[in-house]
Amino acid sequence: MAKSELKPCPFCGGSARILRLRGGKYCVACSSCGARGGAVWVKDWHDTPFVAQGQAAKLWNARNEMIGG
């Protein structure tokens, strides 16, 4: 799994990490408080987890900006 640049949690400032969920989904979650970003599925047209992980990181970072982190 490639490292993506993840911003700290907008709620507690904790570090974030990419999680693999059931059903071929990925999301980013805070290691401290457990806050989660949106889930992204590995799609047939990407067929690589790397793309889904990058999209999950983008969702997390965009959510962080919207909250003011």
Instruction: Give the tens place of pLDDT for each residue, 3-15.
Output: 568 999 999 999 9
Q: How far is CA 40 from CA 12, 13, 52, 59, in A?
A: 23, 23, 6, 9
Instruction: Give the tens place of pLDDT for each residue, 17-37.
Output: 999 999 889 999 999 999 999
11 in Cβ contact with 35 (< 8 Å): yes
- Cα separation, 59 vs 62, whole angstroms: 5
Domain ranges of the chain: 16-67
Q: What is the DSSP letter of 62?
A: H
Amino acid 63: pLDDT: 73
